[in-house]
Structure 1
Amino acid sequence: MHIKAFKTARIEGKNSCLEDIIEDALPKLENGDILALTSKIVSLCQGRYICKEETSKYDLICQEADLLLQTDQNPYNLFLTIKDGLLIPSAGIDASNGLNVYILYPKDIQEVAFSLWNHLRTKFKLQDLGILITDSHTTPLRRGVTGIALGWCGFEPLYSYVNKPDVYGQPLCVTQINILDALAASAVFVIGEGDEQTPLALIQKAPKISFLDRPPTSQEEQSIKISLEEDLYAPLFQSVKWLKVKHNF
């Protein structure tokens, strides 16, 4: 597998066209390529940001999160939330790589991924193409951030080892590879977090990819997610108080 990041002009706001930014930065795409792009440039192009002077971050979190953890223990002045099936600090709201603004998660991220997939697949006359929209997140009990997928199009999100043999020929029962987050972690590592100004990465020759000639179904979109009740860490999630909040922004 090979991953290369691509530099773009600095993206200032909603007057920017996402398709133009991508086409100006990338070489000709090849069959089997997967394009990873940061969710932040999608948000900026959508105008999904708000001046810090106009609101508090906490109010924005309450507007954007699905669930907000109620606790007095808050060592980093961050709020643990669940948004769109992800455990993420502050509902994904971030002030980095923006000037005096809070940047929110994109709207309709699956539609954005499909639109890009359809546009680039048609433009470059490709059969197999993947789109991956990424963000950075933290892992409990580990320092640092890694990449995670927020949206995608063009390929199966999971690779199943169920009923496949291990090294002793024993059939595996439950193991699946989360292809989306595995690719996102690799792409975000190459993209960087600071002034690299490389929000795009091209993934080539990735293994275990089953490309699709259509957008993912609702069932496929849900296949990557797991409920709080069914999660391996359910005892932790269910031992704390979550506040349900509404989307008003």
Structure 2
Amino acid sequence: MARLTLTTLDDFPLVNPGDDLANLVAKGLKRQQVALGRGDVVVIAQKVVSKAEDRFRNLADITPGQDALDLAEETDKDPRLVQAILDESTEVVRKRKGVLVVRHRCGWVMAQAGIDQSNVEGSENGALLLLPIDPDASAARLRAALLERLDVPLGVVIADSFGRPFRNGTTGVAIGAAGVTSFMDIRGERDLYGRELKVSTVAHADELASAASLLMGQGNEGCPVVLVQGLAPSREVPAASLIRPLEDDLFR
């Protein structure tokens, strides 16, 4: 019988710039007396990683350029916010009133370049929270620090909430990973009837992020860290492998 167990780290403290995130996670795991093993994965919300890395900007410090002013008029958004979005992006993909979808500098196609003000202290005064500069590197640093503290090679997934172009609602997506096979290519394997799989690939880290997001929630739940147990140890494939190359994008 296969079984997967997901456990929140309860009473996780609010995170501030410069906080030792690995220390907070390790203390939470020890406090709950969870028996850890190889293959276990810590899924952590992007927002707390960004806060610890001080990925803040403030609208008061941003001067919009002409492109931002034009886009702000088209989308009915604050020109300063639009400038922050453009600063984090390489391309505007879609736009309309209230919507600005861009290609983030890391390659993701997403609304507002992932810039957020929900659950951000000071947002009423213009504070913005950006995504980590390099989420795979952030995950790798966190994993290494957890290994030092816990002596167990846990996997780490940094999860964010993405909308999807052809479906309503958001779902958990992995933007960073370490010690996890983020992308599985199972082409060449056989199905139940012996047929060779020709096109099957699996966004494994996204599935972990989505499962954990059921417990993390999207509002005031205050559960930014989820431990996933029951997985077999896997080889390292970063979350960047999940980004479809531009030449394979059939919808452009």
- 1:18 aligned to which of 13, 18, 21: 21
Residue 227, structure 1, aligned to residue 245, structure 2: yes
How far off is 1:193 after superposition? 1.0
SS at match of 1:69: strand
Distance in 2, matches of 1:226 and 1:166, equals: 25
How far off is 1:210 after superposition? 4.4
Match of 2:74 in 1: none
RMSD: 1.9
Q: Deviations over 1:64-109 (max 9, x none)?
A: 11212364xx14x121011112111011101111031111001222
Match of 1:3 in 2: 6
Residue 197, structure 1, aligned to residue 222, structure 2: yes
- 1:120 aligned to which of 138, 146, 150: 146
Match of 2:128 in 1: 102
Residue 58, structure 1, aligned to residue 79, structure 2: no
Distance in 2, matches of 1:123 and 1:39, equals: 21
Match of 2:175 in 1: 150
Residue 132, structure 1, aligned to residue 157, structure 2: yes
SS at match of 2:22: helix
Output aligned runs, 1:229-244, within 5 Å.
229-231=247-249, 234=250, 236-237=251-252
Larger RCO, structure (CA 8 Å, separation 6 or more): 1
How many residues end up aligned between the 2 structures?
A: 222
How far off is 1:49 after superposition? 1.1
- What TM-score results when the alignment is normalised by the length of structure 2? 0.81
SS at match of 1:203: strand
Distance in 2, matches of 1:42 and 1:53, equals: 23
SS at match of 2:144: helix
Where does structure 1 differ by over 4 angstroms across 4 or more consecutive aligned residues? none
Residue identity opposite 1:18 in structure 2: L
- What TM-score results when the alignment is normalised by the length of structure 1? 0.82
- 1:68 aligned to which of 76, 92, 112: 92
Tell me the percent identity: 25
SS at match of 2:184: strand
Residue 211, structure 1, aligned to residue 226, structure 2: no
Contact kept, 8 Å, 2:176 with 2:240, in 1: the verdict is no
Match of 2:71 in 1: none
Match of 1:241 in 2: none
Gaps of 5+ in 2: 63-79
Contact kept, 8 Å, 1:80 with 1:88, in 2: the verdict is yes
Match of 1:244 in 2: none
